[in-house]
Amino acid sequence: MTDLTLFREETRDWLETNCPPEMKKPMTPHGMTWGGRNCKFSHPDQELWLKRLGEKGWTAPTWPKEYGGGGLSYDENKILAEEMTNLGTRMPLASFGLWMLGPALLEYASEEQKMEHIPKIIKGEIRWCQGYSEPGSGSDLASLKTKAIEDGDNFIVNGQKVWTSYANECDMIFTLVRTGPQEPKHDGISFLLIDMDQAGVETKPIKLISGASPFCETFFTDAVVPKKNLVHKLNKGWDVAKNLLQHERKMLASMGLGGSKAASKGKTGSGLATLSKKYVEVKDEKIIDEGLRQKIAKCDMNSHAFSLTLKRVSEEAKNSNNGPSAATSIFKLYGSEHNKQKYEIMLEAMGSQALGWEGGEFGPEELAITREWLRTKANSIEGGTSEVQLNVISKRVLDLPQ
Amino acid sequence: MSLVLSETAAFLQDQTQRFAREKTPTSHFRSVRDSENPECFDREIWKQMADQGLSGILIPEEFGGSNFGLSGIGVVLQELGRTLTPSPLFATGVIGASFLTKIGTDSQKQKYLPEIANGNLTTCFAFEEGPRHKPIISKVTAEKKGKNYIINGKKSFVVDGGFADLIIIAAKTSKGPSLFLADKNSKGIDINIAKMVDSRNSANITFSDLEISPENILGEIDQAQDTIEEILDISRAALAAEMLGGALEAFEITINYLKEREQFGVKIGSFQALQHRAANMFTELELCKSCVLESLSCFDEKSNDIPRIVSLAKAKIGETFHLISNEGVQMHGGVGVTDEYDIGLYLKRARVAEQIFGNSEFHRNRYAELTGY
């Protein structure tokens, strides 16, 4: 038996023994665990599952063991993901710490900072949010104005961030601040870790067209940040900011592995078609409206093709040391545009049942789809608009003239 | 399933790339086209391709091939597709070789496969019966007469049908489709070359009381449907690889043009209206690369989901090749519609290649059926 076969068997045994029953059921709308000091679990099994995986480091399977990570190789991690998919286990922890901050810290933070922050990310003890955009700095992020001024052992921070996801529920915020007002705009930015549990930090949820408020405005008024919370060098925060984005894409690639498996497994059916069949005319399992049927097929095929691409890029990354390939630049663009498309088709299929706002005439799933349809409109805006992604591809990948 | 090229495939790709650049750049395609050679390919070039082993990639070693599989021939076709190399490789090296290897009798294999591998024998598959692809045979019939079969009816859009030595005929027998082999010079075969927009060889073939003796029956009578479906999928995956090559080249040609051409005192590639469209094309191409690789490797790895993956690849590359060749022509401006520039040649090839064995709409429909809706 090879080491990997053995690892697969051990992993499967461990997951079967340790995954609580509720965590083998499909995810529910409120079933996601986000961690943090004020973490609320909608079921006790969520807490148990997070605790068990967190102790093993398997919320961050490939991170080094010395900081509490799983220390798994690429192949072992792939096996773990496959076994979790096979067993249908839920993701134990959704976290911007895991997806964005942690990998950047591993690269740029001091040893002391890593020891302080990474284990808490892995165990879900601290919930992080991202302080990047400002009211006047959206696509042109590097024009940001939030100021940090040195004052003894601290920075004093003043300014405003916007679109800070879940800021009102988070413990800490990783923030881009201007520390060099005289320097060219990219060279005067620093990367600070700011504790939100202080008087100088206030959050105010923004009500969206979906009715939900996943985003906030975050205000800094003489917020105090110890200098030990400066990551990397002063005025070199843009390096960290860019690196963090790269890791976001890489993480997206590895998250896609589970999806591609399901898509390539064959007669697993189509979520879009199954949903549509409840609302449209069907004969012999076939959707009669040929226009809708072709749209669904096109959308399913795009999902399938996208999953294969995530998988291809992650295989290529394994086989080369060149870092993320050119193809990674398409993920954000394609993923968000595709998701919007998918919800448009759902609405088209469901007719007036997808147009409810609230009340008993609509099922909870229907209402959730309507709200999610509205939510998807932000997909191609947050984290860099689709137009910004297109600019990045044309300039950095295709090398088209300025 | 592997989405990264094996060493063998990487070697074949490298070898073919050099061959295509040196021996068959698009100027070769043009010279064949303009020579009015009705075969639409160069026999000397085909001999050289055979000598490099390209015609025998899908043929077992005992019959003179290399048995490198679909992933092997896929990268070869992709590189040849980049330069629009006209050759019998698709109809002979993919379709003919696959049919004979799969269901040929020992004596049929002995007789034909080594000849395909060494480049002496070409084949074509007489299948379509109308202007749009339909994988069910209904019009061309084969009636039993003693030990022989008598074939009547008309086939259309037969790739390489104008010159192929050996015709593989799909015909309806009493309980289902059957396959037969016929020499192109047999009595009862009338071949009319259909001059196509992409300047490749295609023919309409009429059978009038063509008599087939038992040794020329290919596979079991009435039982050919599964084999036909399988070989159609192999052919579609191979063709998708050729189309990917064409799309990649057309894209690169266009990007280079955007970097060279100046208007209003600047390179036109600096215009955001063009940049965003180019970036979109790049995105679609990246998706196509994954689908084509998967569709080739799924055969070699014996996936249980082959038809769906093949339809995915053929539909995606069909759409994308159109997108890129049309946008390519538009972005070239006036010169894009001249014969002098290559971009228009890709536009023409894209249309014909998409039509072979099912266009994108056909494959979306099939994908939906196979997924259960």
pTM of the model: 0.88
Residue A272 reports pLDDT greater than 90: yes
The CA dihedral of A93, A95, A100, A103, to the nearest 10 degrees, is -40
CB-CB neighbours of A343 under 10 Å: 20
A303 — pLDDT class (breaks 50, 70, 90): very high
Residue B27 reports pLDDT greater than 50: yes
Backbone angles phi and psi of B337, in degrees to 5: -100, 10
Tell me if A264 and B291 make a contact (CB, 8 A cut-off): no
* Shortest CA gap A393–chain B (Å): 6
Tell me if A286 and B373 make a contact (CB, 8 A cut-off): yes
- Start-to-end Cα distance in chain A: 56
Q: Which chain B residues have a beta carbon less than 8 Å from that of A295?
A: none
Q: How high is the ipTM of this complex?
A: 0.94
How long is chain A?
402
Residue A225, Cβ density class (10 Å: 0-12 exposed, 13-18 middle, ≥19 buried): buried
Residue in A closest to B261 by C-alpha: A401
Return the SS3 of A194. Answer: strand
Predicted local confidence at residue A316, as pLDDT: 84
Percentage of residues of chain A with pLDDT beyond 90: 77
CATH, domain range A128-235: 2.40.110.10
Q: Which of A269, A326, A330 sits opposite B372 (nearest CB)?
A: A269
- Start-to-end Cα distance in chain B: 26
| A50 touches A76 (CB < 8 A) | no
Residue B240 reports pLDDT greater than 90: yes
Q: Tens digit of pLDDT for each residue in A9-55?
A: 999 999 999 999 999 988 887 788 999 999 989 899 999 999 999 99
Q: By mean pLDDT, which of A134-148, A325-339, B179-193 is the weakest?
A: A325-339
Tell me if B270 and A402 make a contact (CB, 8 A cut-off): yes
CATH, domain range A3-106: 1.10.540
CATH, domain range B125-218: 2.40.110.10
Q: Which chain B residues have a beta carbon less than 8 Å from that of A280?
A: none
Q: Which of B267, B279, B367 sits opposite A297 (nearest CB)?
A: B367
- Among residues A255, A323, B35, which one has the least CA distance to residue B45? B35
State which amino acid sits at residue B115: E
Residue B2, Cβ density class (10 Å: 0-12 exposed, 13-18 middle, ≥19 buried): middle
* Shortest CA gap B63–chain A (Å): 34
Mean pLDDT of all residues in chain A? 90
> In this structure, what token pair is assigned to residue A127?
């919930």
Tell me if A273 and B368 make a contact (CB, 8 A cut-off): yes
Q: Tens digit of pLDDT for each residue in A167-199?
A: 999 999 999 999 999 999 999 999 999 999 999
Return the SS3 of B151. Answer: strand
Percentage of residues of chain B with pLDDT beyond 90: 96
Q: Tens digit of pLDDT for each residue in B52-86?
A: 999 999 999 999 999 999 999 999 999 999 999 99
Mean pLDDT of all residues in chain B? 96
Alpha carbon distances (Å) from B47 to A28, A31, B44, B51: 63, 65, 5, 6
Residue B93 reports pLDDT greater than 90: yes
Tell me if B286 and A297 make a contact (CB, 8 A cut-off): no
What average pLDDT does range B334-361 have in this prediction? 97
Query: CA-CA distance, A14 to B301, in Å (whole number)?
Result: 30
In terms of phi and psi (left: phi > 0; alpha: psi -120 to 50; beta: otherwise), the region of B153 is left
CB pairs under 8 A between A and B: 137
CATH, domain range B7-121: 1.10.540.10
> In this structure, what token pair is assigned to residue B373?
């809706």
Q: Tens digit of pLDDT for each residue in B148-206?
A: 999 999 999 999 999 999 999 999 999 999 999 999 999 999 999 999 999 999 999 99
Which string of b and e fits A305-342 if b means at least 16 CB within 10 Å? bbbbbbbbbbbbbeeeeeebbebbbbbbbbbbbbbbbb
What average pLDDT does range B335-348 have in this prediction? 98
Q: Which chain A residues have a beta carbon less than 8 Å from that of B270?
A: 400-402
A383 — pLDDT class (breaks 50, 70, 90): confident
Residue A324 reports pLDDT greater than 80: no
Alpha carbon distances (Å) from A282 to A2, A275, A285, A355: 49, 12, 6, 22
Q: Tens digit of pLDDT for each residue in B294-335?
A: 999 999 889 999 999 999 999 999 999 999 999 999 999 999
C-alpha A292: how far from chain center: 31
Residue A296, Cβ density class (10 Å: 0-12 exposed, 13-18 middle, ≥19 buried): buried
Predicted local confidence at residue A257, as pLDDT: 40
Q: Superfamily for B225-371? A: Butyryl-CoA Dehydrogenase, subunit A, domain 3 (1.20.140.10)
Q: Which chain B residues have a beta carbon less than 8 Å from that of A315?
A: 2-4
Q: Tens digit of pLDDT for each residue in A82-126?
A: 999 999 999 999 999 999 999 999 999 999 999 999 999 999 999
Q: Tens digit of pLDDT for each residue in A249-267?
A: 666 555 444 344 444 444 4
Residue in A closest to B294 by C-alpha: A308
Residue in A closest to B373 by C-alpha: A286
Who has greater pLDDT, B5 or B120? Answer: B120
Where are the domains positioned within chain A?
3-106, 128-235, 240-397
Q: Which of A305, A333, A334 sits opposite B291 (nearest CB)?
A: A305
CB-CB neighbours of A359 under 10 Å: 7
Tell me if B290 and A273 make a contact (CB, 8 A cut-off): no
Predicted local confidence at residue A314, as pLDDT: 81
Query: CA-CA distance, B211 to A401, in Å (whole number)?
Result: 65
Q: Tens digit of pLDDT for each residue in A212-251?
A: 888 999 999 999 999 999 999 999 999 999 888 777 666 6
Mutation choice for A interface testing from B286, B293, B367 by most A CBs within 10 A: B286
**Helix axis angle, B272-300 to A290-319, nearest 10°:** 80
- Which CATH architecture best describes the domain A240-397? Up-down Bundle (1.20)
Q: Which of B1, B2, B282 sits opposite A264 (nearest CB)?
A: B1
Tell me if B316 and A301 make a contact (CB, 8 A cut-off): yes
Residue A387 reports pLDDT greater than 50: yes
Query: CA-CA distance, B306 to B301, in Å (whole number)?
Result: 10
Q: Which of A302, A390, A401 sits opposite B279 (nearest CB)?
A: A390
Element (H or E) spanning B26, and its range? helix B26-34
Where are the domains positioned within chain B?
7-121, 125-218, 225-371
What average pLDDT does range A349-367 have in this prediction? 96
Query: CA-CA distance, A69 to A47, in Å (whole number)?
Result: 18
* Shortest CA gap A227–chain B (Å): 42
